Amino acid sequence: VPVVGASRWLPQFGFGVEYNRYAEFNNYQDYYRRFQHNNFDVGVQITIPLFDAGRRAKAHESAAEAVHASAQADQAKNEASEQVEKLRHSLRELKAQQRFAELQSQLAQEQLETVQSELKNGTGSPNAAPVSPKDEELARIQAEERYQDALNAGLSLMRAQLSLLRAVGSIERGAHSPAQ
């Protein structure tokens, strides 16, 4: 690619030397007055690029490719930033869901403890229905389900945090790596 700028006005030089040996049996000497069998030609070509459309077109093409590459890089950076922002928003939502699941688990555990206490000591209220072992088992099942929900919410949160760290890490690696 020719350098566009100060060097575009520099002249270009070309040199050429040619040697020809013509055979004597062709009888060229009969047709030409000063015919010689050994011929030398020397030439010099000087090109001054006052108007070089090819070079100018190549410069415009290179500039357009640079602008296109820059726009693609900006687009990729914007998409990566958007992805990171979506992951951060998702992370905030998952933190709220995890906290909610933990509170539900704690509530279910407290309800189980209340049912167990009422089963052991009675309800303490004469108008309340008595608690049965079946109620205790239902409360235990619900407490286990809520505990599992809290664990699953924690796992989802950790996965989202890892995805965010991977995305941010890949962006930082891309920013620190040399241009390819």
pTM of the model: 0.52
- For the ranges 7-11, 48-52, 70-74, the maximum mean pLDDT occurs at 70-74
Q: Which range (21-25, 65-69, 98-102, 144-148) has the least confidence?
A: 21-25
d(C-alpha 172, C-alpha 69), whole Å: 20
d(C-alpha 112, C-alpha 90), whole Å: 32
- Check residue 180 and give its pLDDT: 44
Cα distances from 13 to residues 16, 46, 52, in angstroms, run 10, 5, 15
Residue located via tokens 């006052």 = 50
| Positive or negative torsion for Cα 175, 177, 179, 180 | negative
Cα distances from 160 to residues 36, 42, 76, 101, 153, in angstroms, run 89, 76, 21, 17, 11
